Amino acid sequence: MSTHDVDDGTGGLDASIQYELDRPQNVGQGMIDSLNDFKAFRIAAPFFGMADTIALGAVFAVAGCGGPLIPFSAGRVDATEAGPETVPEPQQDLASHTEAFRRQGFTPTEMIGLVACGHTLGGVRQVDFPLVVTDTEDVLQTFDTTTNFDNAVVSEYLQNTTENILVVGPNVTTRSDFRIFSSDGNVTMQSFLSSDTFNETCGALIGRMINTVPNGVTLTEPISEPFDYVVSEPLFSYRNGTLSMATTLRVINPSDNPSRTITLLWADRQGSSCPSTGCTSPSTSLQQVVFSLIGNIQGLTGTRYSFNATINATTSLSKFWFEINENDGSDPVVVDNGGSGFVIEQDTIFIDNSRSENLFLSSSFTDIRKVVVAVRGDASSSVSITTFDPNSSASTPPYVLTVTTTELQLDESNPSEGGFTFFTANVSETVNFLNIVANVAGTSYTQENFDMTVVNFPFVTL
């Protein structure tokens, strides 16, 4: 984020680092390794930009090493070119560092805090900075003696026991940490001897750092607590006159109640609620949710309830919602997206989950997806899919998404049925859909942002 200029509002955490790795100030295998890790994460979270992924990586790194939980906001916009060469370097003098941090939006005191917070982890690699680590036998000089996010970098400095090479290194010119730490007579560093003060300050400063974005970019409200309920992408299929919809509801921290029942309800396309006997479906199974690092730190538990509803294909559905009944005399809890329900915008086109397949081509040892799209229309309809591949073909940064539009063909293996015609195309297993567009009898229909990571196609070897 050091590309930010508080004076004109440009730069910040925008992933421009991908285009800046040829600069001496960004030297090191760690930059490339981190971006490669982030690239892999985006395969599982395809609608996440690289800048948001870098910010989330910082949140996980700090928490995973024992530091404070930093609230995460999304919405960063990835840059398409390099930013200015403004990363502070260890050979620069104190005035240069003070001005660099001012330009990024931080005071001299906050500069001390950011360097201390940043240097509680990691170190300096000899191969990257031979003028700093002059001993060729010394592969890595760490900033302190612990591997945790803690204030050891502070206490060791104040006790004169530090081996931080940016404080006591043989090259006086590159003792940047010493110049910064001592710039206010060690007043700020003395305050960081309190672990609580150190963690509180670091959480606030790193939070500000990852939320530093160019003017015109608006981030979401901080996401510091999990949603009570999460609904998965609904998956549809049509066979033998019946429309099926599969989805799940994740419930956070549910009480241990074996009598609990959760019911899926829906309204037809005319918007009227169906009779209770005809538009409800009980959960078919449940499983315990496995949380990642942050959830485990917060002590979260969760249960995911699965549903597979059979729906009248003619009346179809316009929205769905859930009722949670503890069966203890209390009123049921309605999960309905704030009163609007979870809306199904259209039912003219959808990926048919039961007819689509994952295919393994044994001749070439490649995995592909046979995607089948159901269309309420005849063979004169036209269907196309626009996909992007988060698994960029580039072996090194920058990682730019590949966007492709593919025309679907009539699926001869799935004859028309019940007013539906089926179209198909083979795509890479790593792609995700930006949209499906169909022209049916002169009317255009679109399904957008379909997350393929939730799809569970059957697997076939050819």
What is the reported pLDDT for 362?
61
Say if CB 425 and CB 409 are below 8 A apart.
yes
Cα-Cα-Cα-Cα dihedral sign, residues 48, 353, 460, 361: negative
User: Residue 14 corresponds to which tokens in the numbers above?
Assistant: 């925008």
Give SS3 for 343: strand
What is the value of pTM for the model shown?
0.86
Say if CB 394 and CB 400 are below 8 A apart.
yes
Instruction: Please name which of 449, 374, 452 lies closest in space to residue 410, comparing C-alpha atoms.
Output: 374
Please name the helix (run of DSSP H) or strand (run of DSSP E) that holds residue 180, with its range, or none: helix 176-181
Say if CB 343 and CB 231 are below 8 A apart.
no
Instruction: Please name which of 436, 456, 434 lies closest in space to residue 446, comparing C-alpha atoms.
Output: 436
User: Residue 26 corresponds to which tokens in the numbers above?
Assistant: 């960004």
Instruction: Please name which of 98, 122, 121, 120 lies closest in space to residue 110, comparing C-alpha atoms.
Output: 98
The C-alpha R_g of the chain, in whole angstroms, comes to 27
Q: How far apart are CA 365 and CA 260, in angstroms?
A: 46
Nearest 5 degrees, angle CA 341-CA 346-CA 350?
110
Say if CB 90 and CB 118 are below 8 A apart.
no
What is the reported pLDDT for 364?
60
Instruction: Please name which of 133, 161, 129, 150 lies closest in space to residue 65, comparing C-alpha atoms.
Output: 150
Angle between helices 108-118 and 195-210 (to 10 degrees): 100
Instruction: Give helix then strand counts, H and E, for the chain.
Output: 10, 22
User: Residue 148 corresponds to which tokens in the numbers above?
Assistant: 């945790």
Give SS3 for 4: coil
What is the reported pLDDT for 396?
82
What is the reported pLDDT for 212?
98
Cα-Cα-Cα-Cα dihedral sign, residues 238, 240, 242, 247: negative
Give, for all 462 residues of the chain, the pLDDT tens digit: 999 999 999 999 999 999 999 998 998 888 899 998 898 887 667 778 899 999 999 999 999 999 999 999 999 999 999 999 999 999 999 999 999 999 999 999 999 999 999 999 999 999 999 989 988 888 899 999 999 999 999 999 999 999 999 999 999 999 999 999 999 999 999 999 999 999 999 999 999 999 999 999 999 999 878 889 999 989 999 998 889 999 999 999 888 888 999 999 999 887 666 765 568 899 999 999 998 899 999 999 999 999 999 999 988 999 999 999 999 999 999 999 999 999 999 999 999 999 998 876 666 667 888 999 999 999 999 999 998 876 666 778 888 777 889 999 999 999 999 999 999 999 887 777 778 999 999 999 998 866 554 455 555 554
What is the reported pLDDT for 462?
46
Q: How far apart are CA 432 and CA 377, in angstroms?
A: 25
Q: How far apart are CA 262 and CA 245, in angstroms?
A: 16
- Secondary structure (DSSP) of 350-381: EEBTTT-EEEEETTTTEEEEEEEEEEES-TT-
What is the reported pLDDT for 304?
95
What is the reported pLDDT for 369?
86
